[in-house]
Structure 1
């Protein structure tokens, strides 16, 4: 058969046909399969890269959102710190001034407290005045210095531009360079600075940008660590991997520990001799792959193995994310398939050759059928079979062909399973990426917790805070705000402004709201009804415009300033009373001089034996009128706190018992009195006579307020003041005795409550009411270092409360001398120097001295008096007015007399007696006469042992 040419030709044809079939199958199937398998492997690498890129991009977005949240958090905290510091200043300044500090002392005191105020990471507040001087700073080296002294690295002033902008804008956030405490290096700082024109200073608080970046950087490092863990689990092919580097050439994430974290800018591609860094960056985001040669872990240093990389660039982090895989690994699966196909083809060729030898005569039709089947398979119809069922070799060939196709189908199925397994691996990686996203979500939840803490802080502030959008709907309110309107947060959030505050308040403040929504901060005062009480609130509406020219809403900050306004009112009342007291004291001085002249001349006429009896009948009422005028000036002096006092410790219960007995005899039968006293009453330190006068005045005022009868109640008790207490002014801490006089009459009117202590103010219609009763009580109490308050009982009637110190010592002033004449005065002859700048007063006193038997030499100037003292060796005494024109006064003349005439008598006279705290210590025991006085009083004073008592030399005040 082999020798037959037909057989040979047929065999050749058979061999050619079989070879053609195998070639066709290879050409039509193998390249397509290799291409598809290669594409699948490469797509798997691209999918893994894209998934990691999306994860990194989401991390960047989360990081940027975190940065904005951190900045916003610092903005809100800086606003709260500045507002809290301003609130602290306001309260502490008010308390300091109320405690008696001057304005400068109060400001320095509060600025010292503010310099100790810290928050965050040793951050602080600072204050600069309108003259650009730092008045408060935690570093003592900075306080009291001009801000122009502090310059940056280029020598330019740092703070002046910030202060100018804050003063011009009212407030704002500013960036500048400043060093930390105890450090020299200057860092970028982000500060909130606010101008307070009412206090003439600027207050600022800030945070260093490094601290903000540290928070964001820490967050980024955590994200990178999470990404590193995710990348360690991702594998591409057998040894492929993902890695990340930044634009500076630092390898951020790489599975090779020798490269991870290192700079690889010098590593080169052995094919192009260019740096790998440049080539990877050049193909980033182009969709192109970089082919280069590199070594294998199993063959280090031998750069002959081809690799392929895809690169994605993330601008936010400046990251380059790359996939890297050896080219032969991408082709490995397709090569295995190709080899198997080639083995099958070889086996098929051998089988066909054997069959051709055996069945050469009967193969034409089956071979044609096989050819058709092969053609169908080559066209991609993998389900095609020969459908030849024969028991001969052609049938065997057909079955072998079918098995070959089935084997090929199985290989393709195995390849599909392998691809499916790889897909499942990618799904696992995707789940890991999802877990990473859940971690990011947990971090976002932590941010919400931070916001909740800030909300709690805002709720705890003693202020009303709310945020309203540009549609006038509430977005945020704190507890103080909703409490002011008696609502809850759920009742307010989302509601319109008019629904919450009411139509009346809305119409009152809508101009201010519109002003804020147009970009201008508005500050105004508004009375608010709270728990049935009117409270004065200071409301500041600040526009919220994160983008210039675009106001998204407004922030309302309201503070209760009712206490401040009440303090201002009390201060004005105290100042008015002080002014009236000065005026009353001055008037009483001049009036006493006039009364001295009138009384002295009238008494001289009365004592003259030659005065007609008809004239004496008219002189007696005139003398009584001068004494009545002297009593009025005494009351004025009591109000002006310039009456002489003789303070001592008083048995209050005994004094009150005597006083109530005296008062009871003057009360009508329809008025009763009652006294209640605590056990173990302390002894107040005051003038007993003046206290008794004050109580009698209060009792008679109560009698006048009860024309139809009633009850007067006296209550005596001990009181220890250890907390803030306001009567007519803030009470100093200490031990006191409280005396309360109450009646059941008509009570005080509003006008009486405000003006009761003013001299000559009275609500009585009687002609003989001078209006000096309560003013005298007021002056006595204040001169005794005490306090007084008026009030009305809810059940009706008025109440006056006196608070007298029970322990504080009071310097005693000499009381006026007794009116009892000294019988020996007329026997004491000698020369007396008379000093007074009023000619008429001097004439009256001269006549009185002459009537007492003294020789008198007069002068009107203290300097002249001192010269006369030095030239008169027989001088027996000096009678001198205290207040004199020029640099010297009566006290100076008394001292000069004691130096040259230690045994001479000294008597001082004045239109108003000095207050005990104004009288020099060395002249404290000298006798003092208050104008007007009688001849007998003058004589008694000259003969008093105290008139010749040596002075305790001290310092004149």
Structure 2
């Protein structure tokens, strides 16, 4: 028994030693490699993520460039359409073809879109006809060279002339810079017009967007790296090719250049060592300190490095060697402990075997030997009630069954082996399917997050305890927090006490299962935003509320559109009201003006009478201008600009206002003489000055002073008024008062239609808005310098030209001084008897024989009975079924030599749906004999 015990002890010890030396080193090595591989896997995952971000960035750049190209094509077509309409409008204003084209080119110089982008036009010889930069306007593009090379712009123009159109890349500077930048332009040839039109986009604008996306990718990558741990304290970090540390968990290194940090092992810069092993598959071995032992550079570390060429980044992993070994050492210690315990237990069992079980086992062993020799009928013969007896009985039974089963054993083993192989294949397929489904699920979740983040709405989901379970990017940005940090926070803590209090009633309704919607106003980024918030309760299968979906939309633009619609409706009402009054009011003014002229002609020698007649005539014309201006304001009719003698206009305006201003208000004029004169509509400019003076009068109830100051200025450097001022020559008109000035609210809204600071509806709110509309239509600028309770100064900046550049216009008398038509017959059709009487007298004074009637039906019956009719003068709006335009068309078909002059108190658009024949001349009421002369003089030319 002792020998048996010793033998078992030696066998168990040998087994223990063999297992230890053949398994423990292998296990330690495998565990160490697994830990190292986990570091490589984490590094590769982050590298793949960064590489995908770079691929998305390249795709975005391609899409952005294609979008810009489409926009450039649209801009060039729009410029061509604008050129045609501007030339047509200038031709209607009496300019020649060359002058009309020049006006269109000048207007296109101020055409801007996008990030201060513009269009340019060059003729077929390469000379720039329209360019916003005065340095190049009118210059030959062949002279524009960069680095003494051939002119790239001239080459592009030649290509467009030969190819018709295309996209071309070349270098060109911005308007406010002289540095050449890469630019892509779309240039299109218009051979029938003799020029090419081009517009482009600077590629550095695209690069700025790419840099922004790259920074966002870096932020997203930084957040992802924070969640990755290697071993206990291992981590990932990223630096660029300039050795600037972009991402690092150590705040002392992150964001700094670490080229000066030295590797204690090699003595080289650790940044250079990391770059050398990038993508080699080798690990960099170096020594570093620990967080718990700073400054002691004796701890071994390993780093893997991957290089991402797209972003020019190096992505690295870093882990301490002893942490990689710690898992293997821990496993080894546990194996040894288990082995020692097993050895002790084995010794105890051996003692038991030696005293109580050895003999039965020996008999079982002998029996087993006999069975192994083929004696399957052998039995142990042991009969005991304990486990040994059961074992012996089981052994005997097993031998018996063995005899029955041994015959089928090989076939069953073969069948089982085949079944196991099939199961193994099924497990492999199932594993691959699960991996594919997991990847698809991850992609689907990523897409859903991207879609929710891209939606222009704040989206959040909370449980019934009001804890946040999900937010999108817009919701997190609105409250200036990180998405991840908001998860599992209480809603009250995340959005603040004030905001939570505003929606508390909605939350309670949603918890009760009711969907609620409300609107509110808040300030975001220094602007007022109107939001619409909807709380939608979510239910479980038992129809119990288990969460709330919070949707918030920015409806500021919708509210602005609603407000603008209301303003447009008010403007339409003004237009309809003005249109209804214009005809009768202008008829009255025609009677007044005609009689004033007649009185002036009859008493031409009475100078005292003329002192009273001239202001009355100007006031009558101003009444007509007011009606026309109100109609023009409601329909945005085009202006009639011309060169203006600003000194004479100011003197006339002050004389006109002298009777409308109280005695305690004085007016002072300071005009600096200049060769430049403002180029604008004189009537509208006078109206603008009158509106400003009346506002100043209302601001000085106790009296004060109103000052006019004018000067010519040349804008070369940056100047900002209501918007940046384009370089060029301007006439500056400053109107100052010593009144109460503008309030802060009035200063913000003074140019808005219908806004007035006067109480009890005293003001219409159209004054300054009409001034603003006139200035902007005249390509000018406006600003207000305000000093509350000390007065205000309104500055108008209008385009100016040299006096000799203007088109000299003869006075109506000069144009018709030789006009005399004695004895010729004119038919006058006018429904208002007083107006008809005034016009008939004017025609008689011009030497005509006049037959008049009050409607078109009577005129159609009368005209065929008359001898040769020289002219037909008819009001547009006539009683009955036939209006003036239809009567004129009828007469023009009968006799196309008959001169036809239409008179109307309406604008052209108010004359009916039927357009007026270009052969007819339209004379607006009120008018005097001079205007009537000019109308006949002009009709002779048609």
Q: Same fold (TM over 0.5)?
A: no
Greater relative contact order (Cα < 8 A, sep 6+): 1
The structure with more radius of gyration:
1
Q: Which range, TM-score by smaller chain?
A: 0.3 to 0.5
